[in-house]
Amino acid sequence: MEVSDLSIFREYEKNNRRGLELVYERYKKYVYSIAYHYSGNREDALDITQEVFMSVFKAFGSFKEQYSILPWIKKITVNKCLNFLRSRKESISLNETTEGGDELQNIISSNEDTEASIFCKDTKKALEEAISKLPDKQRIAVLLRHMKQMKYEEIAGTMKVPPGTVKTLIHNGRAAIKDNLMKQGIWEV
């Protein structure tokens, strides 16, 4: 059942646990969907979602009820996304193995199936891949604009950067996505 932010605050006053459960219930899909498209995989998306809600829960008691919860959660999600992959990238190495036990360097060097996989790929996968190749800030800006239909000013507030920077990030991100989709042969243009 969908509940309003106000009723979440009322519930939180009566029973902290129930209040936090309602916050989680209301916003878990929103956070997870951004985290998933940002990180490109389920495990990282769950880790990011976990980090976001830990911050939300810890600070919820001091959050003022006259503000709405969503913009606050968006800011935390964007922050956690950008910081999560930054720390992940620092520790990643080509000798790491995947779940299937293959070393990353072997996967990168083997391209025998590349051609076949291009033809089998659907547009959704192709777009996911193109988005995943964008630099972190471009990726989050493009996702907020197109997946969450946020306005430039709103994105600027959420990412704490000037609106002009948001525009540049999105323009460059789109240009890169278009080139990538063209290379993947998605359209017959």
Partner 1 sequence: MKEKSILNLNSENNISIKCGKMDGALLQDYLEGTIDPVEKLFVEAHLNTCKDCRRELSELKLMFWELGNKSNYRVEYPQELDEMAGTLIDRVLGKEEKSTARKLVDLQVGNLKGSTRFLDYLPGARKTPEVIKKASRSLAKGVGKGVKKGVERMLTAR
Q: Please give the residue ranges that form the binding site for partner 1 (CB under 8 A).
A: 16-17, 20-21, 24-25, 28-29, 32-33, 36-37, 42, 46, 49-50, 53-54, 57-58, 123-124, 127-128, 142, 146-147, 152, 167-168, 171-172, 174-175, 177-178, 181-182, 186-187, 189
In the complex with partner 1, the residue whose CB is nearer, 128 or 136, is 128
Amino acid of residue 156:
A
Alpha helices in the chain (DSSP H): 5-14, 16-39, 42-60, 69-91, 104-109, 114-120, 123-132, 136-142, 152-159, 163-183
Q: Which amino acid is at 5?
A: D
Q: Which amino acid appears at position 128 of this protein? A: E
Measured from the CB of residue 39, what is the shortest distance to partner 1 in angstroms?
12
Which residue, 17 or 64, has its beta carbon nearer to partner 1? 17
R_g of the chain computed on alpha carbons: 19
**Minimum distance from CB of 170 to partner 1 (Å)?**
8
